[in-house]
Amino acid sequence: MKKISVILMGCGGVGRQLLQHIVSFRSLHAKMGVHLRVVGVSDSKSLVVPVDVLKEGLDDDLLSEVCSIKSAGSALTTLGALGKGEYCVFNGSESIRETEEIAQLLGKSTGLVVVDCSASSETVEILMKAVDLGCCVVLANKKPLTSTLEHYDKLVLDPRRIRHESTVGAGLPVIASMNRIISSGDPVHSIVGSLSGTLGYVMSELEDGRPLSQVVRAAKTLGYTEPDPRDDLSGMDVARKALILARLLGKRIVMDSIKIESLYPEDMRPGVMTVDDFLQNGIAKLDQNIEERVKRASSNGCVLRYVCMIEGSSVQVGIREVSKDSPLGRLRGSDNIVEIRSRCYKEQPLVIQGAGAGNDTTAAGVLADIIDMQDLFP
To the question of whether residue 117 is assigned a binding role by annotation, the answer is: no
Instruction: Work out the burial of residue 184: count CB atoms within 10 Å of its CB; fewer than 13 is exposed, 13-18 middle, 19 or more buried.
Output: exposed
10 is in an annotated binding site: yes
Give which of 173, 238, 189, 196 is closest to 349, Cα–Cα: 189
* 346 is a catalytic site residue: no
Helix orientation angle between 212-221 and 287-299, rounded to the nearest 10 degrees:
110
Tell whether residue 11 is among the known ligand binding residues.
yes
Cα torsion at 100, 104, 105, 106 (round to 10°)? 100
Out of 55, 220, 241, 259, which one is annotated catalytic? Answer: 241
Q: Is 250 annotated as a binding residue?
A: no
Judge whether 142 is annotated as a binding position. Answer: yes
Distance CA(81)–CA(86), nearest Å, equals 13
* Rounded Cα distance, 269 and 272, in Å: 6
Say how far apart CA 61 and CA 139 lie, in whole Å: 25
d(CA 78, CA 376): 36
282 annotated as a binding-site residue: no
**Residue 83: HSE in the Cβ half-sphere, 13 Å Cα cutoff:** 21
Residue ranges of the annotated binding site for L-homoserine are: 226
Binding-site residues from annotation: 10-15, 142, 226
Give binding residues for NADP(+) as ranges: 10-15
Which sequence positions are flagged as catalytic?
Answer: 241
